[in-house]
Chain A
Amino acid sequence: MNLTTLIALAGLGLSGLLCLVRLARGPTLANRIIALDTILIVIITGIAVAAARSGESSFLDVMVVAALLGFTGTVTVARTIESKKAK
């Protein structure tokens, strides 16, 4: 289980890095929202893997809050770019 979760965390780190590159490169705001959304999913997945690794369950509440906040953020920015009609 220890080796498995280590490999899993490494994979998640790589995935998060790829998302960060897309976040930096853009080219439009919509691309960046998608990248941020995926980073949030990577974070939630990482918390789950860490909980499985340590058997420590106190971070599970953070996952619930992160899932809710991520949705709120995505919807807010989507509405903003729609009303702004960028470019």
Chain B
Amino acid sequence: MREILASILLLSGVAFVLLAGIGLQRFPDVFARMHAATKAATLGLLLVLAGTALQLSSPGDVAKLVLVAGLMFVTAPVGAHMVGRAAYRAGNELSPETSVDELADKLAAEAKGDRTVEPGTD
């Protein structure tokens, strides 16, 4: 029973990581790719870690797996935010299908020296 549950968790986790890889190929611009890569891969990693924890089940090993899961959940959003911000400011192009770009107006106002827009809060 335990083994079946661990297998299901492992396989579904790997399916999500595989989806992240496919999304990295199929999506049109950096930001859409980042969406696929960070979210799907993090969920997949968590599922695989849960499956491994069920399979190994000695307290020390489970503690390490929980530590990795916690680290990924804290660092993945922060890293993705920094890459997204840097990518936008470095002039990566949005896909032509993008309909709303709110940051463009803000950055233009900031460049004109309009201080009603707080710099660095976007």
Contacts and interface: CB of A to CB of B under 8 A. Distances in A.
Contact of A52 (B20, B22, B56, B82): B56
A52 B52 CA distance: 5
B13 to A, nearest CB: 7
A49 B48 contact: yes
Contacts of A19: 21, 24
Interface in B59-103: 60-61, 64-65, 67-68, 71-72, 75-76, 78-79, 82-83, 85-87, 89-92
> B-side binding surface: helix, strand, loop or mixed?
helix
A70 B10 CA distance: 22
Interface residues of B, number: 52
Given A31-B33, A45-B48, A64-B67, 7 more contacts: A8-B10, A38-B20, A41-B72, A67-B75, A70-B75, A71-B75, A79-B86
Interface of B: 3, 6-7, 10-11, 13-15, 17-18, 20-22, 24-25, 30, 33-34, 37-38, 41-42, 44-45, 48-49, 51-52, 55-56, 58, 60-61, 64-65, 67-68, 71-72, 75-76, 78-79, 82-83, 85-87, 89-92
